[in-house]
Every structure is written in C-alpha cells, then in structure tokens.
Amino acid sequence: MNDAHAPADAADAPWRRAAAAAGLLGADGSPAPTIFAEMTALAHRTGALNLGQGFPDHAGPAEVTEAAIRAIREGVNQYSPGRGEPDLLAAIAEHQRRFYGLDLQAEQILVTAGATEALAATLLSQLRAGDEIVVLEPYYDAYVALAALAGARIVPVPLRAPDFQPDLDELSAAVGPRTRMILVNSPHNPTGTVLGLELLDRIVDLAHRHDALIVTDEVYEHLAYDVPHVPIATRPGAAERTLSISSAGKVFSVTGWKIGWVSGPARLIEQVMAVKQFLTFVSGAPFQPAVATGLRLPDPFFTGLRGSYRAKRDLLVDALEEAGFTVTVPASGYFALADAAPLGLPDAVAAARDLPERVGVVAVPLSAFARSERTDLRSILRFAFCKSDAVLEDAAARLRSLRA
C-alpha cells in the first residue's frame, strides 16, 4: 500500500477535535490505546482469569434465550417497527408499573440498540454545542465520547473512596446556567454506589432551578443488593424532565443482544427517535419478543438473580480483603473496587500489568474511568464478579496467594 495515495485524514472533523480534547484520541488522532484491550491481550497471553471485562460468562434464563430461537424460527427476522415491537413496548410499560408504579404509554417508550444507542440518541438529540453535561466521576466511558460527539462539555462530580457518594455541595456547585443535562447513573458503574433519596431529590431540585434535563442510566436496576433501586423518575417533579434508560444486557445476561430502551415525556422521546432512526433505524428483531418474555418473568427470577450476584460479590470481596486489599463493598452492579496501596502497590496501572503474571488474575485500573487529575483513584483496581462461581472461587484462591 502506498500511503501517498490514501485520502487525507479528516483531522478537523468535529468529533476528532472534540474527542482529542476529551483525551479519547492519541496525539496522532488514532484511538487512544485502551487499558481494556491491553488487559484482555494480557489475559490471553498469560492464561489468567479475566475479571477485567464486565460481561457474564454464564447463560441467561432459558425462557428468554429459547424465545429468541423460536422467534427466528417463526420468521421474526425483518425490520421491526421504528419504535420497537409493540409487545416489547407493552412489556416495558408493565415492568415499569410492576416494579416502580410508573405509568407509561407506548409513545413514551423507544426501543434502542442497547443502552448505548439510547444514550447516543438522547445526548445527540438534546445537547447543543457548548452545553454542559454534569456526570458522576468515575464514569461509564461512553458518556465522555458521546458528549464529545455532541460538542458538549463534561462537568464531573467526583465520587471518592470509601463510599463513592457524591458530595451535596459539589453536586450543587457543578450545576449552573450552562447545564443542559444531569446524567445520573444509579446503580453506578464502576463504583457500585446507589444514590439515596436525598441525593435524587437534590438532583431534581437542581434540574428545576436551572431548567436542565435529567438523563438516568439504570442498566443495573435489578442488581441493587442492599436497598431497592429507586428510579429518579418516581421522585416528585422528576418525570416531566427525565429520560430513563435501561437495557436487557445486564439483567438477562445477554450483553451481545443489545436491546435497550429509553422512556420519558412523549415530546422528548419523539426527538430522541428522530436521531435514533438514522443511527441504526431498528435492530435485533427476534431478540425483542425474547426480552418481552424476560421482563414478564415472575418475581423469583429477579430476586434469584440479585441473590446469586450478592453471593458472588461476597465471595470476591472476602478474597480481596484476605489478600490485603482495602475493599469498598459494592451496593450494586458487577464490580468490586479494591485499593492496592496496602499491598505496597500504589500504582494500579502497574499492578494491573503485574497481577496476571504474579497470581493469574486480570483486573483494570479505576483511573481508566476518570480524568487523569483524579490522583485519589490511582491505587484502585476494578474486579468484575459477573462470573461463574467456579471461576470466582479459582480467582479467590489465586488472590489469597498474594498474601503469602
């Protein structure tokens, strides 16, 4: 290949400029090498157990996976309606009523290609260039990339050890006249923190005061271990300015299906749909009836899921503590955060590179989910516990050997 004949790079494409400013691209404009890719490669090379990546290694409920197979056999293989299969829209509405007492009409719901597309279409349809978007930091990496794509500016509210709860004053100070959107993620990835009612109500109050939208990412809604999940849309005055996002991936252990949804005021959903139709138009037709089946599963499925993950959490947390880490017991989600400083490992990036060889376990440094100035996160590693008990028990034994 002769590069002289290759087209010139669009270095000044708006996203390239915004993404470079957000640290998502290297100096040469190529995607910044992610620690995730490096750690996965290291796991392959060393044969270490990969607790770096946050996807389940076990099958979802048989009723759900069988329903997808049946749908393919029965010919549900063409474009679905733009808003989503009517029966899935009905199942989402039933789910929101059953678990949270929320009343939704079909025109208040949109099915998307995972929570990721719901986030993309929401941010692209609601943010103007120069708007500010308030996010909890550490954050899910897509938030920063999508804000950059929309030309908006991230205003982070730091979550700090040991409990990773936002400080009310810092939260209030982050919201101002330029704030267009407050992006809530509770249950929170990667800290596992769950926002209490006082915080949720403060966010609603701030959104009203500055006429901001609330966008809430609730993909871990069924994985809150200690207190029940409370959607911010159920709080007084919130529903009229809140877009709520969730997904089938985490709750039914089918992260590859990419079926998500966003719900809220019909006028806003209309605007989100206007963007969504040109991102993917539609996706995952045979998975949509399967997800409807999942959302209608009886309560024991949801309590069983929670109980099983709580046990996995406890197994991993105990092992990390015995190994000598300082661990924050996560109130929700797939991940445990462990401070490696007490083990004489003050740099989690170095520790993550060292652990696979030393004990055969892969984790990722928490710094990957925050700005580089968050030096308080420097010694913290993130371990996923969404793995089979056999893998977790093996990992636990390996981690305990760190102590020796």
Ligand X SMILES: *Cc1c(COP(=O)(O)O)cnc(C)c1O
Contacts of 36 (CB under 8 A, 6+ apart): 52, 53, 364, 368
- Taking the least distance from each CB to ligand X, the nearer of 179 and 255 is 255
The minimum distance between CB 323 and ligand X, in angstroms, equals: 25
Tell me how far apart the alpha carbons of residues 25 and 21 are, in angstroms, rounded to a whole number.
Answer: 8
Please say which residue, 115 or 338, places its beta carbon nearer to ligand X.
115
Smallest distance from ligand X to CB 343, Å? 27
Report H helices in 241-346: 248-251, 266-279, 287-295, 299-323
Please say which residue, 138 or 356, places its beta carbon nearer to ligand X.
138
Q: What own/partner pairs with CB < 8 Å and gap ≥ 24 does 325-329 have?
A: 325/381, 326/162, 328/161, 328/162, 328/163, 328/164, 328/191, 328/192, 329/192
Q: How far is the CB of 76 from ligand X (least distance, A)?
A: 20
Cα–Cα nearest to 245, from 112, 47, 155: 112
Residue 256 beta carbon to ligand X: minimum distance, rounded to whole angstroms: 8
Give the shortest CB-217-to-ligand X separation in angstroms: 5
Compute the least distance from the CB of residue 404 to ligand X, in Å. Answer: 34
Comparing CB distances to ligand X, the nearer of 114 and 365 is 114
> Of the two residues 186 and 345, which places its CB atom closer to ligand X in the complex?
186
Q: Nearest-CA neighbor of 96 among 360, 296, 260?
A: 296
Residue 270 vs residues 198, 258, 274, 275, 341: alpha-carbon distances, Å: 31, 21, 6, 9, 49
Nearer to ligand X among residue 231 and residue 260 (C-beta): 260
Name the residue number minimizing CB distance to ligand X. Answer: 114
Residues engaged in binding ligand X (CB under 6 A): 114-116, 140, 185, 189, 217, 219, 247, 249, 255, 258, 260
